[in-house]
Amino acid sequence: MFHLPFPVRDANAGSGTDPLGNLPEWDLSDLYTGEDAPELKRDLDWLEEACASFARDFEGKLADLDDAGLLDCVLRNERINSVAGRIMSFAGLRYYQITTDADRAKFMSDMQEKITNFTTPLVFFTLELNRLDDDALDAHFAANSDLARYKPVFDRIRAMKPYQLSDELEKFLHDLGVVGDAWERMFDETIAGLSFEVDGQTLNIEGTLNLLTEQDRSKREAASREVARVLGENVKTFARVHNTQAKEKEIIDRWRGMETPQTGRHLSNHVEPEVVEALRSAVVKAYPKLSHRYYEMKRGWLGLDRMEVWDRNAPLPMEDTRIVGWDAAEATVMEAYNAFDPRMGKIAKPFFKDGWIDAGVKPGKAPGAFAHPTVTDVHPYVMLNYLGKPRDVMTLAHELGHGVHQVLAAGQGEMLSSTPLTLAETASVFGEMLTFQKMLEKAETQEQRKVLLAGKVEDMINTVVRQIAFYDFECKLHDARRGGELTPEDINALWMSVQAESLGPVFDFMEGYETFWAYIPHFVHSPFYVYAYAFGDGLVNALYAVYREGGEGFEEKYFDMLKAGGSKHHKELLAPFGLDASDPKFWDKGLSMISDMIDELEAMG
Alpha-carbon Rg for the chain in angstroms: 24
Say if residues 81 and 54 touch (Cβ distance below 8 Å).
Answer: no
Residues 163 and 279 in one domain: no
Nearest CA to 461 out of 389, 533, 370 is that of: 533
Q: Is 250 exposed, middle or buried (0-12, 13-18, 19+ CB in 10 A)?
A: middle
Reported as a pLDDT band with limits 50, 70 and 90, residue 249 is very high
* b (16+ CB within 10 A) / e for 311-326: bbbbbbeebeeebbbb
ω into 121 cis (within 30 of 0) = no
Decide if 43 is inside a domain.
Answer: yes
Terminal-to-terminal C-alpha distance of the chain? 54
Residues 174 and 315 in one domain: no
- Residues 296-313 have a mean pLDDT of 96
Question: Looking at this protein, which amino acid is placed at residue 136?
Answer: A
CA distance 518 to 275: 29
Q: Is 44 exposed, middle or buried (0-12, 13-18, 19+ CB in 10 A)?
A: middle
**Domain containing residue 455: CATH number:** 1.10.1370.30
CA distance 371 to 533: 14
Which structural domain, as residue segments, surrounds residue 126? Answer: 28-181
3 state DSSP class of 259: coil
Residues 404 and 550 in one domain: yes
**Sign of the torsion angle spanned by Cα atoms 492, 204, 332, 338:** positive
Q: In what order do the strands lie in the sheet with 357-358?
A: 357-358, 381-383, 370-372
Across the chain, how many H-helices and E-strands are there?
26, 5
Decide if 599 is inside a domain.
Answer: yes
Decide if 507 is inside a domain.
Answer: yes
Task: Specify the long-range contacts of residues 126-133, CB closer than 8 Å, at least 24 apart.
Answer: 126/157, 126/160, 126/164, 127/164, 127/167, 127/170, 128/59, 128/60, 128/62, 128/63, 129/62, 129/154, 129/157, 129/158, 130/157, 130/158, 130/160, 130/161, 130/164, 131/62, 131/63, 132/62, 132/63
- Can you give the pTM of this predicted structure? 0.81
3 state DSSP class of 453: helix
CA distance 572 to 120: 35
Residues 325 and 456 in one domain: yes
In this predicted structure, the answer to whether residue 7 has a pLDDT above a threshold of 60 is no
Percent of the chain with pLDDT over 70: 97
Domain boundary among 181, 197, 226: 181
Decide if 193 is inside a domain.
Answer: no
Residues 161 and 57 in one domain: yes
In this predicted structure, the answer to whether residue 5 has a pLDDT above a threshold of 60 is no
pLDDT in the model for residue 18: 56
Residues 388 and 529 in one domain: yes
Length of the chain: 605
The per-residue pLDDT for range 180-192, each reduced to its tens digit, is 788 999 999 999 8
In this predicted structure, the answer to whether residue 6 has a pLDDT above a threshold of 60 is no
Total number of domains in the chain: 2
In this predicted structure, the answer to whether residue 255 has a pLDDT above a threshold of 50 is yes
The per-residue pLDDT for range 40-82, each reduced to its tens digit, is 999 999 999 999 999 999 999 999 999 999 999 999 999 999 9
Residues 538 and 426 in one domain: yes
Say if residues 385 and 119 touch (Cβ distance below 8 Å).
Answer: no
Reported as a pLDDT band with limits 50, 70 and 90, residue 296 is very high
Decide if 221 is inside a domain.
Answer: no
Residues 461 and 352 in one domain: yes
Q: Is 93 exposed, middle or buried (0-12, 13-18, 19+ CB in 10 A)?
A: buried
Residues 307 and 172 in one domain: no
Nearest CA to 594 out of 278, 290, 285 is that of: 290
pLDDT in the model for residue 57: 97
Residues 310 and 450 in one domain: yes
Domain boundary among 181, 204, 231: 181
Decide if 583 is inside a domain.
Answer: yes
- Residues 376-386 have a mean pLDDT of 96
**Domain containing residue 46: CATH number:** 1.20.140.70
Cα atoms found within 13 Å of the Cα of residue 45, Cβ hemisphere only: 6
pLDDT in the model for residue 201: 93
Residues 382 and 526 in one domain: yes
CA distance 519 to 246: 16
- Residues 388-399 have a mean pLDDT of 91
Residue 289 CA to its chain's centroid (Å): 27
CA distance 130 to 605: 60
pLDDT in the model for residue 582: 83
Domain boundary among 147, 181, 215: 181
Lowest mean pLDDT among 2-11, 104-113, 303-312, 565-574: 2-11
Decide if 487 is inside a domain.
Answer: yes
The per-residue pLDDT for range 323-378, each reduced to its tens digit, is 899 999 999 999 999 999 999 999 999 999 999 999 999 989 988 899 999 999 99
Say if residues 232 and 194 touch (Cβ distance below 8 Å).
Answer: no
**Sign of the torsion angle spanned by Cα atoms 513, 519, 525, 530:** negative
Reported as a pLDDT band with limits 50, 70 and 90, residue 584 is confident
Decide if 98 is inside a domain.
Answer: yes
